[in-house]
Chains A and B, each alone.
Chain A
Amino acid sequence: MGNGGSRRGDSSSSSDSESKSSRVSRLRQKLHDYRQSHFHRRRRSSGLSSHLNSLSSADDFAGIALLTLIRAEMKFKDKWLACVSLGEQTFRTEISDNTDKPVWNSEKKLLLERNGPHVARISIFETNRVSKNNFIGYCEIDLLEFLDLDSDSDAHVFDLLDPSSNDMVVGNISLSCAIEDPFETEKNFARRILSVVDYDEDGTLSFSEFSDLVNGFGNQVLATKKEELFKAADTNGDGVVSMDELAALLAIQQEKEPLINSCPVCGEILQVADKLNTMIHLTLCFDEGTGNQVMTGGFLTDKQASYGWIFKLSEWAHYSSYNVGLKSGSSASHILVFDRRKKRLVEELIDGKIVLSMRALYQSNIGLRLMDKGAKEILQSISERQGKKMNSVESAEDIPKFLEFFKDQINMGEVKYPLQHFKTFNEFFIRELKPGARPIACMEHDDVAISAADSRLMAFKSAEDSLRLWIKGRKFSVHGLLGKDICPNAFVNGSIVIFRLAPQDYHRFHLPVSGVIEKFVDIPGSLYTVNPIAVNSKYCNVFTENKRTVSIISTTHFGKVAFIAIGATMVGSMTFLKKEGDFVKKGDEFGYFSFGG
């Protein structure tokens, strides 16, 4: 489980394992019971045909996990905060006192879905600076495995690792995790919504309170219909609706004619057919800001959650699903990317000064006109000079600084040669990896294409989609990308996959498909940045104006595949390790980018 590994919780007494079934198996049993009761209830209420819906939604549901960050033991005194990231959500604790044994006792309910993210990353920050916090240690915990641990105690201790060296332990953290019984979730949900409109706090709903509740859920039912519903809910006829009566009404009514159309807390439109997940959504939403030392939410990444005073401005930041990636305009100071392996958002920071200069150059017509008046030559000259510098023996001195800067993003353990092997920075930049460091998906199946680089990837079914969603340069076209020496007809409305390499990435690119290399075509050009700020500029056409090499790979399963390596500012040198006529296997090394013009 995770990297903590050293489970030092009180799990020793496991003699009567028969009677102590794991929490996950208990959960499974609860879900089974839940589905059974749901099935019978539905048969009674709305006939057999509708139960399939219920089973499918229950199958998708794993449960609500209550994660509690209890305390940590660090190696020095400071004011500490901890963040929990799961999928696209990050939550943070309060800041502790100045101590080497911070205590938070902060809890958060997290939704665990069967195919959703379940590896939580806990990050610990010291907070003694005004606006910047230092990332000190982390651990990653598979919550499903955690829940599977048989133990008398819910609390377990995990090692916190140094982000710059995975072998070094910088402290430990004690946390607990428990799954909430689905029946409890349903009951708590009814109790919680009842309390929202129970103005006289008598534990029941009068008709006017009930009416407010129905309105609050975004339901525009007629007054007569509300009366009808109220009477249906008030099964004992005492003129008020109790918690149990409300729970029963919601369970039955939500299947027939849903009462709950939108969440009164966040306003999200809820899936009418998915009653169970609706209940979970509302439970989690209502839970925000209440309970015992609940963690603060609304963040996307642990870096964002750890900001000092800046966090106050973004505490309730909400990102709609369509602007979650590149922030444009004045907010373009970071790029969010989704880590496919860990199933969570991570933040790629860009230095503020670079953002300003890139915006000035690439996102304005004036900037691009300036670019035409000599800046292109400057970019070329900078890149050539940078190439010479990075090939010098002195440049090797920059390697440790580079590693320190990207300490949590470069894993030296998977690099083929030790650090002292690299005599120049460029040698380090084009470092090779140990065999097997990058497993190839479905190696024996050439009809499965693979990722060509360690990168940030964008994929589109068609060129039209890529223009609508990402590439904003007005002159972009597949024809322009491939150049005049390649017949573009077969590719014109083909699928496009863009692999963007960041400085810290492994800079060798590999073959995404198996086949024969038909030809290489070098296309001279500029060395604009390939940062999304430029790609997203309507004034800039980096992909069709930059220096690039186009290779065509002829394959059995995909027809022809065009592979275009595009140079960028400073990293403008491309070297290929295959030649025309070579038979190539997917996953083979194809070439690398290095510093130079």
Chain B
Amino acid sequence: STVICVFEEDSIQIDEDLLQNSERSLETLVSVGMQLGIARKKRAEMDL
């Protein structure tokens, strides 16, 4: 079974390690509750 989450464009900054593994076609073993990403709005505030 599988769950897919689709976020609106530019709404989330997914954690870099997850993106990097996926770019290598490598799945990442995760558990419920681990951080997935941060809202882009928040990210922009932090960058400022």
Contact = CB atoms under 8 A, between A and B. Distances in A.
6 contacts: A325-B26, A340-B28, A458-B28, A494-B9, A510-B32, A587-B32
Interface of B: 1-9, 11-12, 14-15, 17-19, 21-39, 41-42
A517 B34 CA distance: 22
A561 interface: yes
A295 to B, nearest CB: 24
A338 B28 contact: yes
A438 B14 contact: no
Nearest to A562: B6
B31 A449 contact: no
Interface string A471-493: 00000001001100000001111
A455 B9 contact: no
Interface stretch (A206-214, A419-427, A439-447): A439-447
Given A460-B19, A532-B27, A491 B1 contact: no
Interface residues of B, dominant DSSP: mixed
A459 B18 contact: yes
Contact of A506 (B25, B32, B42): B32
Interface of A: 321-326, 335-341, 346, 438-442, 447-462, 465, 469-470, 478, 481-482, 490-501, 506-510, 512, 530, 532, 543, 557-568, 571, 574, 587, 593
A530 B11 CA distance: 27
A343 to B, nearest CB: 9
Contacts of B15: 459
Interface residues of A, dominant DSSP: mixed
The CB with the most chain A CB atoms within 10 A, among B1, B17, B19, B29, is that of B1
A497 B18 CA distance: 10
A203 B28 CA distance: 48
Contacts of B8: 490-491, 494, 558-561
A491 to B, nearest CB: 5
B2 A500 contact: yes
Given A497-B5, A561-B6, A457 B19 contact: no
A499 B24 contact: no
B4 to A, nearest CB: 4
Contacts, number: 221
Contacts of A561: 5-8
Given A323-B25, A449-B36, A566 B1 contact: yes
Given A491-B7, A510-B33, 12 more contacts: A325-B24, A442-B35, A451-B30, A459-B37, A465-B22, A469-B22, A495-B9, A507-B1, A509-B3, A558-B12, A561-B7, A562-B6
Nearest to B45: A447
Given A460-B22, A494-B11, A501 B1 contact: yes
The CB with the most chain B CB atoms within 10 A, among A439, A458, A465, is that of A458
Contacts of B27: 325, 335, 337-338, 456-458, 500, 532
Nearest to A546: B2
Contacts of B41: 447, 557
Nearest to A470: B25
B29 A449 contact: no
Contact of A326 (B9, B25, B35): B25
B11 A456 contact: no
Contacts of B6: 478, 481-482, 491, 494-496, 561-562, 564
Given A490-B9, A557-B39, A564-B6, A339 B1 contact: no
A449 B2 contact: no
Contact of B32 (A454, A490, A500, A566): A454
Nearest to A563: B5
Contacts of A338: 21, 26-29
The CB with the most chain B CB atoms within 10 A, among A335, A339, A450, A507, is that of A450
A469 B25 contact: yes
A568 B2 contact: yes
A53 B47 CA distance: 24
Given A338-B27, A493-B9, A587 B33 contact: yes
A498 B38 contact: no
A470 B5 contact: no
Given A323-B25, A325-B25, A470-B25, A451 B33 contact: yes
Contacts of B24: 321-322, 324-325
